[in-house]
Structure 1
Amino acid sequence: MIITLGGLAGTGTTTTAELLSEKLDIPYISAGYVFRQMASERGMSVLEFSEFAEGNDDIDKEIDKRQAELAKSSDNLIVEGRLSAYFVEADLKLWLVTPFDVRSQRIAERESKSVDVASEEIIVREESEALRYMDIHNIDIKNMDIYDLIINTGTFNPEEVSEIILTTLKVI
């Protein structure tokens, strides 16, 4: 079974992927991890790398390529990433949403920064990413038509989110 899991920063995609991986006993890969790894390799922050990637289409293409290749060679895999659903043939395509203030708080805690700084960085990063996605792939990140299930992780805790997904898997 191949599952894609997407969502904007702070929606809980990594937490959800980890829980699903554990409950289903299948591995997961993360586009965010690949992105952060590539930023680190270049000695940049995620924000700096996001701005750098805005002028370098090869960054996004490389992330997409790595994910698609791994999914093709796997029988069971959870692929976590904002654009994963567009590039990975999947049995279930999920998108997580969360109110902006909740996402800002989560990121501030995770990255040990103020909520104001986290909020400003989210806005800059998401504007940059939306431009890249449209320019490179002609994908409108706000279009939810490709997803089978959209879950508000501001309403449900991680355990409840994983249970919603597991229940959904029983009917597909």
Structure 2
Amino acid sequence: MKITISGHAGSGKTSVSKELAKNIGFKVISVGSIFRDLAKEANMTLEEFSLFAEKNRKIDSLIDEQQVELSNKYRDCIIEGRLSGWMIEADIKIWLRSSIETRIRRIIERENRDYEDILKETISRERIEKERYKKFYNIDIDDLSIYDLVINSERWDVVGVSEIILKGLERLKNGKDRRVFKEGGNKP
């Protein structure tokens, strides 16, 4: 089974992926880690590397290839990244959402940096990425219609979000929520 977990920076993708993996024994593939490692290798901040990637399509292509290659390497895996839901054929696609304030607070806790710097960098990075995804892939990152499950990750803690996902996975496994709608038939 392949699961994608997507969301903006600070939405809880990595934390939820790790918690979920702990419960079901799946391998976690972190696209954000791939991006951060490439930025570090280039001796750039994430914002600088986002600007660089905006002008250099090879960066996105490399990241895309790596996430697809890694997801094909493992039978059961969780792929977490902003575009993973768009890039990976998955059994279930999940989007985590939360307010910018919550996301900034989480990034501050993770990186131990100044609020204003994180806020400015995150807003800039998200704008750059949104434009890049549209330009390179014709993807509107705000279009959540491809996701099977959208969870407000500030309403529940990591364990709570993971429990929601586990319940969804259980229902899928048991065939309780596989609905097939015929063309012109009833729609949910």
TM range (shorter): over 0.9
CA distance in 1 between partners of 2:155 and 2:114 (Å)? 23
How far residue 30 of structure 1 moved from its aligned partner, in angstroms, is: 0.6
How far residue 74 of structure 1 moved from its aligned partner, in angstroms, is: 2.1
1:91 maps onto 2:91 in alignment: yes
In structure 2, give the amino acid aligned to 1:55. K
SS of aligned partner of 1:6: strand
Q: Percent identity?
A: 42
1:171 maps onto 2:171 in alignment: yes
Partner of 1:135: 135
Partner of 1:59: 59
Gaps of 5+ in 1: none
Offset from partner CA, 1:91-150 (integer Å, 9 cap, x none)? 110000011111111112211112222111111000000011001100000000110000
CA distance in 1 between partners of 2:112 and 2:128 (Å)? 23
Partner of 1:123: 123
After TM superposition, the score normalised by the length of structure 1 is 0.97
Partner of 2:14: 14
CA distance in 2 between partners of 1:114 and 1:126 (Å)? 18
In structure 1, give the amino acid aligned to 2:44. M
How far residue 73 of structure 1 moved from its aligned partner, in angstroms, is: 2.8
1:42 maps onto 2:12 in alignment: no
Partner of 2:114: 114
After TM superposition, the score normalised by the length of structure 2 is 0.89
RMSD: 0.9
How far residue 83 of structure 1 moved from its aligned partner, in angstroms, is: 0.6
Gaps of 5+ in 2: 173-188
